[in-house]
Each structure stands twice: as C-alpha cells, then as structure tokens.
C-alpha cells in the first residue's frame, strides 16, 4: 500500500480516537459531577431560574404534597390488586371487575387532579412567566403521554377507534 495513504489513514484514526476519547471522558466526568448532589427540586431551580426564597417555598409545597401523593399511589395499587383478583380466572369482564375498573379510574382521576393542583400551587410561587412555562411543561409531560398514545392508536392502520 502507498506509504502516504498509510500515513493519512493512521492520522485519521488518531484524530478520531482523540476526538472520541476526549468526548467520552468529558461527558462522563460532567455527567457524574452534575448528578452528584442533586435533590428532586434541582431541575426546577435550574430550568426556571428560581431564587433560594422561591425554591424554599416550593420545597415546602413539595414536602406537603409527597405524603398525599404516596397515599393516593397506595390506594391505586390496592385497587389494581382488587381488579386483578376480580379478573383472575374469568373469561369475560364481570360486573365486579367493571366496578373495580370504574373505581380505579376515579382514583386515578382524583390523583391527577391533586397533582395538577400541586403544579398550579407551585407555578404560583414562581415569577409569572416562569410559572406559566412550568405549568405548561408539567401538563405536557404528565398528560401529553396519553394524547400521544391515543393519537398513535387512532392513526394506526387496521386499528382505528372512532372518536367518542
């Protein structure tokens, strides 16, 4: 093989190794350093440029909300267990199972309403512009997934649902 070609290919390989190596190392170090001492609310402070006072108010709301959320989650988990028991071994949806489904949906709706209420309270402790952005972002992140799923299912061929 031509000597010049070997030199050029070697130089290219070295360049790629240098670029890739420095990229991987710095990415790993940066990610580790930034994830080292983060609490649940660090993202809020970074993303919405909150002051320490605003963050302290949100922290208080957050700590008040978490036990309620955990309680609702436990209720939902218990209701799901009841539903599974009602569905177990049956080939059709029994009235009991329908009842459990309705109760589960009601619990989920209640939990979602409580969650949205919390988002609203948090947004009100932020500066108005940031609060609006926070609320929109949280609604998109927590409720948007259902819309995506529904739209993807209604658009798929051979599996169309009619709008109710």
Name the residues that contact other proteins, by CB under 8 A: 2-5, 7-8, 11, 14-15, 18-31, 34-35, 38, 40-44, 46-47, 62, 65-66, 69, 73, 76-77, 108, 111-112, 115, 118-119, 138, 141-142, 145-146
- CB of 48 vs other proteins, minimal distance in Å: 11
- CB of 31 vs other proteins, minimal distance in Å: 4
Which one, 34 or 93, has the nearer CB to other proteins? 34
DSSP string, 110-155: HHHHHHHHHHHHHHHHS-HHHHHHHHHHHHHHHHHHHHHHHHHHHH
> Which burial class, exposed, middle or buried, applies to 126 when counting CB atoms under 10 A from its CB (0-12, 13-18, 19+)?
buried
- CB of 144 vs other proteins, minimal distance in Å: 9
- CB of 76 vs other proteins, minimal distance in Å: 6
Q: Which stretches of the chain are DSSP H helices? A: 3-34, 42-48, 52-87, 95-125, 128-155
């Amino acid at each position: 093989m031509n000597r010049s070609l070997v030199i050029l290919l070697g130089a290219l390989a070295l360049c790629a190794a240098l670029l890739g190596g420095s990229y991987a190392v710095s990415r790993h170090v940066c990610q580790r350093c930034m994830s080292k001492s983060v609490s649940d609310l660090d993202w809020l402070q970074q993303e919405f440029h909150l002051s320490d006072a605003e963050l302290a108010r949100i922290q208080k709301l957050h700590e008040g909300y978490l036990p309620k959320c955990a309680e609702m989650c436990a209720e939902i988990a218990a209701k799901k267990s009841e539903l599974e028991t009602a569905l177990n071994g049956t080939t059709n949806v029994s009235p009991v199972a329908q009842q459990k489904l309705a109760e589960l949906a009601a619990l989920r709706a209640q939990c979602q309403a409580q969650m949205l209420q919390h988002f609203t309270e948090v947004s009100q402790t932020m500066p108005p512009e940031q609060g609006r952005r926070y609320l929109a972002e949280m609604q998109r992140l927590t409720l948007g997934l259902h819309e995506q799923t529904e739209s993807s299912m209604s658009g798929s061929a051979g599996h169309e649902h009619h709008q109710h």
